[in-house]
Amino acid sequence: MRAVVRTAAVAATALALLLTGCAGDGDDGTDGKIRIRFQSLAWQKESVDINKQLVKEWNASHPDIEVQYVQGSWDSVHDQLLTSFEGNEAPDVIHDASDDLADFAYGGYLADLRKLLPNRLTDDIPAQSWQTATFDGGVYGVPFLQEPRVLIANTRILKDSGVRIPTPEKPWSWPEFRQVTKQLTGKGRYGVAWPLKEPVSVTLNLGLSAGGQLFHRRADGKVAIETGEGDQVVPGTIHDQVNTDHSAARTALGMGGGDTLPGLFGGKYAMVPLGFSYRQQVVEQAPKGFEWTVLPAPAGTGGLAQGVSPQTLSVAEDSPHKKEAVEFIDFLLRPANMVRLAKGDWMLPTGTAALADPSLHTADRGWATGAALAAALRPAPAQSVRGYPEWKDKVATPALQEYYSGAIDSGELKKRLVEDGKRVLARYQR
């Protein structure tokens, strides 16, 4: 694995090197202060401002431990971290997502936090969230923000159609959802638009609601790929909406989530499945008078369950100040601060105390719907699987794209996901 990491590190961009700063930036100074670098991936202005404000508040109350804010980017974080780890220049506190941690954890680049975390924090975050950052028994990140996938819908179109409006208590089933999208489809309008430029996480995460799993860990610790009836429900529904019912827009299959919003605003799509945080873009971009609502994703034999890969805070294994770094993480994730971070990113906190905050349970802008889904969120099916990134990029993404477009059938899809997938994973499980 070190060889793989080193090869990838060489390919990282010069911009990534600039983001980490030089190795001495976080060293103790002659003034006796401990200096910790915190690399944040916040990108929306509101979120960046809150992160910087929290750093300012920490520094004001901890004169002997100075935290230096470093701005990172989601677009380049994986390669940038590979480079910084190999060059012994990694930030002390690392903001990332749980599905990006496995190779770093197994490669020895992240600190095992089990003996460093305070009981307050470990008790406040539910066990299913901790599972997302646990690899081979060690805990390599603190999951703190998460977002369910929801349906953002045009309220007027729903009301005019007379369809049953789902709630977290009585969601649509997958067959009912398919029927509803047919009812919502009319002249110049599709019932749903699936933005599937990146189809793998959507398919796997929503598949949990139908009892799908795909990746199964055996007693010897190795992972097997097996498809069952539940694994067919979500991809089959999407495929049939596009190719049989024509209730889903074919042109949306190559889009990112934000690309579908103009069509939603213009009445071309009645609904769009999106991450919970897209509500902010709706608020900022929707034309005056546009009425919208947030609905739960469909449910199946697994209820409302869906996979998530929470945002995480980790500590570099090479950091000389692990104890202080964890103290800063604990400060950032105090309930009141976690609420601030969640609202800044329009996401949900993982902490039970923060999630109970009344401001996250209002009907306004769908907060209550999202909060009601929090208990059903589970670790993404593949995030602890070594070799998953390669399987996703080389096998699953092209196979799902061809299946959703109608170029291949379900039998060929299964063959590629399973048989080609086994060959990829075998290299990581020798």
pLDDT 10s digits, 27-67: 556 778 999 999 999 998 999 999 999 999 999 999 999 99
In the predicted model, is pLDDT for residue 16 greater than 50? no
Mean pLDDT of 167-188: 97
pLDDT value of position 169:
97
Q: What is the pTM of this model?
A: 0.89
The 10s digit of each residue's pLDDT in 381-430 is 887 788 888 899 999 999 999 999 999 999 999 999 999 999 998 888 76
The 10s digit of each residue's pLDDT in 285-340 is 999 999 999 999 999 999 999 999 999 999 999 999 999 999 999 999 999 999 99
Residue 7's pLDDT band, with cuts at 50, 70 and 90, is very low
pLDDT value of position 29:
60
Mean pLDDT of 234-255: 98
pLDDT value of position 27:
52
The 10s digit of each residue's pLDDT in 142-162 is 999 999 999 999 999 999 999
The 10s digit of each residue's pLDDT in 363-392 is 999 999 999 999 999 999 887 788 888 899
Cα separation, 202 vs 149, in Å, equals 8
In the predicted model, is pLDDT for residue 6 greater than 80? no
Amino acid at 6: R
pLDDT value of position 26:
43
pLDDT value of position 15:
42
The 10s digit of each residue's pLDDT in 112-141 is 999 999 999 999 999 999 999 999 899 999
pLDDT value of position 385:
84
For the sheet containing 292-296, what is the strand order? 271-275, 149-154, 292-296
The average confidence (pLDDT) of the chain is 92
Mean pLDDT of 353-366: 97
